[in-house]
Structure 1
């Protein structure tokens, strides 16, 4: 029952008692105090009701805004379209690269096995044909570039949506859990982050010095843990 209704009923009861023919001054004084207490409590509970109402309205608005932002994020599109398509494109890049590499190596090996002294003209024709096949195989990089561009576009699209959602909702990054932190530290220690963007971090001379260094078996095993 709302506080205002409770206070109204109490006030009605007090008014009914006052209307009765009470001659006792102490009873009338108690009724006056009760009336004052009722008025005070009505103000208190009334303000409390308004405060609670405002809090719930704020929560409702926040939930509504969250639902709207999640809808704009379009998670189903990301899950059912963007990510699967990007994965398929990357798999196709791997497949095309494997086929091209196999073709190039096969043709190069065939050229190495040829004997130019037996029939120079036939040798030249065979080499020309092998070179054309190698050049054709190298064209995979154009198709691979197109596929990778699609993947990058999808990733940027997802990044844009997630960034907008995080900024709108005021989401801050949580601390990495222990497993993620230990894995990141392991990768930094063992230099397992892959090639650096823009080229290798070390020159060939430095790499040669590392390879010439005496490494014990434990150090070698640690690279594969």
Structure 2
């Protein structure tokens, strides 16, 4: 059953069920009526449908429409500002990545790719090639002289001639040992080149990390196309330990079995 609730005096006066209290003096009555009229106006505005709110509030419908459109436009501007702020963050990240990459390139250019450093690398590699050729030639000449001396030694019977040939063979052997010392110099020169290449590799790795790592760079790399033709396409050696795609000596021997 509904509960009969006692209505307060202000509610009875507000809905018109209770007469307005009389003024106690000449000013209180009109002021009280003005307050009550405002309260009724507020109640009417709260109870009125949304499409009539402008009329109840005494606002021109066209002005209310403009206000609504302005609010919608303001929300659009706010959304665009948020997107611009996000875009600025992304642009700042790209700007920072570009600056870091430029610094890495500057370091490479200053310490590895300038004329002096690359000339040293080229000079070291040229010295390796030249030293290897010279040592190889010296070893081959000594081996040929030993072979000739050994053949002559088998044909002479004179002790003096045998002694001379034996001494020549010994000298040629010493010459071979001396020529083999090229590998020590070659190792030192290659170590210098490898240090430079390692320096370059480290900075290139840093630059790849700046832009997302090796996998991100590999995704943009063009496919590798072998454009060699004829016999040049068949030259893939010498192979390194663990390289695949090369025929071993056993494979070659099996072809002749």
Q: C-alpha distance in 1, partners of 2:172/2:179?
A: 10
Q: C-alpha distance in 1, partners of 2:117/2:219?
A: 25
User: Number of residues paired by the alignment?
Assistant: 183
2:248 aligns with one of 195, 202, 214: 202
Q: Which residue of 2 aligns with 1:79?
A: 113
User: Is the helix fraction higher in 1 or 2?
Assistant: 1
The residue correspondences of 1:84-163 to structure 2 (distance < 5 A) are: 84-114=119-149, 115-116=152-153, 117=156, 119-163=161-205
Q: C-alpha distance in 1, partners of 2:251/2:128?
A: 32
| TM-score with structure 1 setting the length | 0.66
Say whether the 8 Å CA contact 2:108–2:203 is kept in structure 1.
no
Q: C-alpha distance in 2, partners of 1:209/1:54?
A: 66
**RMSD of the TM alignment (CA)?**
3.4
Say whether the 8 Å CA contact 1:69–1:165 is kept in structure 2.
yes
Say whether the 8 Å CA contact 1:70–1:165 is kept in structure 2.
no
Q: C-alpha distance in 2, partners of 1:91/1:44?
A: 68
Q: Is the partner of 1:46 in helix, strand or coil?
A: helix
Q: Is the partner of 2:76 in helix, strand or coil?
A: helix
Q: C-alpha distance in 1, partners of 2:242/2:162?
A: 44
Structure 1 residue runs of 5 or longer lacking an equivalent are 1-26, 214-225
Q: Is the partner of 2:113 in helix, strand or coil?
A: helix
Q: Which residue of 1 aligns with 2:24?
A: none
Higher RCO structure, 1 or 2 (CA under 8 Å, sep 6+): 1
Q: C-alpha distance in 1, partners of 2:205/2:60?
A: 68
What is the CA deviation profile of residues 182-220 of structure 1, one whole-angstrom value per residue up to 9, with x for unaligned ones? 459x99x957242331799624x543343x48xxxxxxx
